[in-house]
Structure 1
Amino acid sequence: MSALLDHLQTFIAFRTVGNDSATKAACLDWIETTFLSSSGLELVRGDVQGASYVFLRHPKPKMLWFGHTDVVPGSDDQFTLTSRDGRAYGRGVKDMKGADLTFLIAYKEACDRGAVPPVSVLLTSDEETGGHTPGELLDAGTLGVIPVAFTPDTGDTDAIVTEMKGALWVRVVATGKSGHAAMPWKSENPVPVLMEAVAALQKKFPQPSGDAWGVTLTPTLLSGSDARNRIPDEASCTVDVRFPPTVCKTPGEMFSLLQKLVPAGCRLEIVESADPMFCDPAHPLVRQIKAVADAVTGSSIPIGRDYGSSDARFFTARGIPAFLYGPVGGDLHGAKEWVSVKSLEEHVEINRRLFKELS
């Protein structure tokens, strides 16, 4: 097994899931010791609402590189790396521990040569749980001046991502009067009202038959009675809404649009939200990374968009250009999450060449 895969095995063995703050901190300890200690730069350790982070501050950064070390839960076997047919499998190999490693390995090599890249580094541990570490650190001034931010936290696209949808998780709530299901005339059942509300939302935003850059609205969680023969006094459905910046510029605009669609007897509650992200594809660093990636991979890397959301939104919402480009992989959050070993190796080389150009 190569040194890269050896490191990846160690990395994914840290079960950095949920609110396990001790494991998240231990994982960052390993990263600090293994990859960052030779930089000689000021290193800041802290946490935001219990989620640990590491920030390596360069005095004159040409960019901020950022990534996250937390992952979604997985089966026990997913925390042991396996590889076959040019792919590595395990929880976080693509999202995004493998992607993190491609930067960290090249960064340590440069530091060990005494050529510390002009890059500040931020590693967080709450991206998968909807945390706000980058936003809080930006607002506190901890990260200093950032000319541009870059992360390899892409989905299953092989493109350089300069645009991502905004996200809004909304709870649709219908209220009624509880009672025995055998005598429904004595109660006010909120379930039919909830069904009407969800149907109205889906009529406005029907499920697309394929790839779609418009608004998607997906019911995900249902809650109602605590017994099969009891009419509840409240029923709810959580919906996942994704919207491009061409439709709504903010989650607030999207929420106002949804409120106009639900019938009387229902209310909407915001559970969580994320701003859409947009970066000018002609930004100099976007073009520079594309040129390096084209040279390393021997192909023309497209510049495109992604359906998901990432911490890049915290930067663009504050007027800081941010974009994404990561290794090839698939089945993110799934039972067969994988990453291309060749692509990991290419991204290490991309980072090596980028550091030389930035220096």
Structure 2
Amino acid sequence: MQKQHDILKLAKELIRIPTIPNSKVHLKQALDLVKSSLAEYTIEDFFANGQISSLIHNQAKGFRNFKFVLNIHLDIIPAKDNQYSPKIIGDKLYGAGAMDMKANAACCVLVFKEYAKNLDYPLALQVTTDEEIGGFDGTAYQLKNGLTAEFVISSEPTNLDIVNQAKGIMWLEVEFKGKSAHGAYPWKGNNALFQASDFITKLSGKIKNPVKKDWITTINFSKLNTVNKAFNKVPDQACLGMDIRFVPGDHDRILKVIKKLLPKGAKLNILTNEPAMDVDPENMHIKSLQRITKSITNKKCKLYAAQGSSDVRHFVKLGMPGVEFGPVGGGIGSDEEWVSISSLDDYYEIIKTFLLDATK
């Protein structure tokens, strides 16, 4: 029970800090809290574009080649003020970021604190503050500075199953060029918004969104803007924003379809282009994690594909395998986000056993 007490104590302390993206003071406060718990280890801080992160490990300063990296993030989706006051009802801990991933992070911090010094291999705890906005200045920046890993576990919430696949992300903008005219004489112009509408219709026919959860490529038409501010003018410019989530192997096909449908004069801009995650299910560390999870929970640990993405993708695209693996919870990003307290106990034991087994 002492271990559960310690996990809940740290989780609640983290939940009370409103670590929304770019809230520099609060993000630093949470990171300092984690670092204060692990002062006996090597702590290296990183700064990039105003974002802070830390690499905490059991080796000498400057070491970068680890067997395992436990990846956690402290930033959360913004929540209502009352959600920063954690509460326990039955087996559930409620609070802002409880399952994504304040409580999960608490487990990893405490496992690392207790056991990293006893391992005969290099282990790192990577703590970032920008995962919710892409992870480019935390995880990706540390990788640019030489971090490597044989295997990575990101403590994303997975209900004690394992995510070994995730969709890739493309954020695209299409700029449409038309011809302006007076609104009373539309035939004298070429309406850029009409071009965008026609493009949306055609692309929607090629990439059909599912009506329920499915493992296929999806498209979200997220923005449509024009510089035109007048009611009585035909707009000669429009900009369409798209969020495309593609399954492994579908990237090139999607781009080909989009480029083929572009009208004359339109320009495609690729703002974000992050690859899909696809890690071999036969990976020895995945098998070990499945076996240990089953032995502790008496339930089969399944592999599944995630609709969203995490910082694991930054490792995977560089050839370093990793997975998302975390405790049971619900209501992610909602007013009633929660994590199962009993599953935190299991999660702690699973991560501990996984790390200790690797020394045998």
**Structure 1 residues 296 and 282: alpha-carbon distance in aligned structure 2, compared to 1, 3 A threshold:** same
Match of 1:121 among 125, 139, 142: 125
Per the alignment, residue 308 of structure 1 pairs with 308
* Residue correspondence of structure 1 range 117-196 to structure 2 within 5 A: 118=121, 119-132=123-136, 133-141=138-146, 143=147, 145-154=148-157, 158-178=160-180, 181-185=183-187, 187-196=189-198
Matched residue of 1:146: which SS? strand
CA apart distance, 1:187 = 4.4
Per the alignment, residue 272 of structure 1 pairs with 272
Cα distance in 2, alignment partners of residues 234 and 335 from structure 1 = 40
CA apart distance, 1:28 = 0.7
Cα distance in 2, alignment partners of residues 48 and 286 from structure 1 = 32
Q: What does the per-residue CA deviation read over 1:219-244, in whole Å, with 9 as the maximum and x for residues that have no partner?
A: 22232354656554432332211111
The two structures have a TM-score, normalised by structure 2, of 0.88
Q: What does the per-residue CA deviation read over 1:259-294, in whole Å, with 9 as the maximum and x for residues that have no partner?
A: 222333433222222111121111111111111111
* Residue correspondence of structure 1 range 179-328 to structure 2 within 5 A: 181-185=183-187, 187-224=189-226, 225-226=228-229, 231-248=234-251, 254-328=254-328
Per the alignment, residue 348 of structure 1 pairs with 348
Cα distance in 2, alignment partners of residues 226 and 2 from structure 1 = 59
Give the counterpart letter for 1:120 in structure 2: A
CA apart distance, 1:29 = 0.7
Q: What does the per-residue CA deviation read over 1:203-261, in whole Å, with 9 as the maximum and x for residues that have no partner?
A: 1111112222111111222323546565544323322111111323xxx6643442222
Q: Is the contact between residue 194 and residue 266 of structure 1 (CA under 8 Å) also seen in structure 2?
A: no
* Deviates further, 15-24 or 282-291: 15-24
1:16 maps onto 2:24 in alignment: no
Per the alignment, residue 89 of structure 1 pairs with 94
1:63 maps onto 2:68 in alignment: yes
Give the paired residue count: 348
**Structure 1 residues 230 and 329: alpha-carbon distance in aligned structure 2, compared to 1, 3 A threshold:** farther
Q: Is the contact between residue 209 and residue 217 of structure 2 (CA under 8 Å) also seen in structure 1?
A: no
Cα distance in 2, alignment partners of residues 117 and 328 from structure 1 = 30
Q: What does the per-residue CA deviation read over 1:130-171, in whole Å, with 9 as the maximum and x for residues that have no partner?
A: 231322322221x2x42111112245x652111111111112
Cα distance in 2, alignment partners of residues 227 and 7 from structure 1 = 55
Ranges of 4+ aligned residues in structure 1 off by more than 6 Å: none
* Deviates further, 175-184 or 14-23: 175-184
**Structure 1 residues 179 and 148: alpha-carbon distance in aligned structure 2, compared to 1, 3 A threshold:** same
Cα distance in 2, alignment partners of residues 106 and 282 from structure 1 = 26
Matched residue of 1:203: which SS? helix
Cα distance in 1, alignment partners of residues 304 and 247 from structure 2 = 13
Cα distance in 2, alignment partners of residues 57 and 3 from structure 1 = 21
CA apart distance, 1:179 = 5.8
Cα distance in 2, alignment partners of residues 270 and 170 from structure 1 = 5
Q: Is the contact between residue 200 and residue 262 of structure 1 (CA under 8 Å) also seen in structure 2?
A: no
Q: What does the per-residue CA deviation read over 1:174-204, in whole Å, with 9 as the maximum and x for residues that have no partner?
A: 2334566455445432111111111122111
1:335 maps onto 2:335 in alignment: yes
Let me know the Cα RMSD of the aligned residues: 2.4
Q: Is the contact between residue 312 and residue 323 of structure 1 (CA under 8 Å) also seen in structure 2?
A: yes
Gaps of 5+ in 2: 60-64
Cα distance in 1, alignment partners of residues 286 and 278 from structure 2 = 12
Cα distance in 1, alignment partners of residues 217 and 103 from structure 2 = 31
Q: Is the contact between residue 177 and residue 188 of structure 1 (CA under 8 Å) also seen in structure 2?
A: yes
* Deviates further, 85-94 or 171-180: 171-180
Give the counterpart letter for 2:250 in structure 1: V
Matched residue of 2:250: which SS? coil
Give the counterpart letter for 1:45 in structure 2: D
**Structure 1 residues 190 and 25: alpha-carbon distance in aligned structure 2, compared to 1, 3 A threshold:** same
Cα distance in 1, alignment partners of residues 314 and 132 from structure 2 = 15
Per the alignment, residue 62 of structure 2 pairs with none
**Structure 1 residues 261 and 91: alpha-carbon distance in aligned structure 2, compared to 1, 3 A threshold:** farther
Cα distance in 1, alignment partners of residues 161 and 258 from structure 2 = 32
Q: Is the contact between residue 159 and residue 305 of structure 1 (CA under 8 Å) also seen in structure 2?
A: no
The two structures have a TM-score, normalised by structure 1, of 0.88
**Structure 1 residues 89 and 171: alpha-carbon distance in aligned structure 2, compared to 1, 3 A threshold:** farther
Give the counterpart letter for 1:176 in structure 2: G
Q: What does the per-residue CA deviation read over 1:299-358, in whole Å, with 9 as the maximum and x for residues that have no partner?
A: 111122111111111111111111121112223223322222221221112122223223
Percent of counterpart pairs with the same letter? 26
Gaps of 5+ in 1: none
Cα distance in 1, alignment partners of residues 293 and 44 from structure 2 = 31
CA apart distance, 1:83 = 2.8
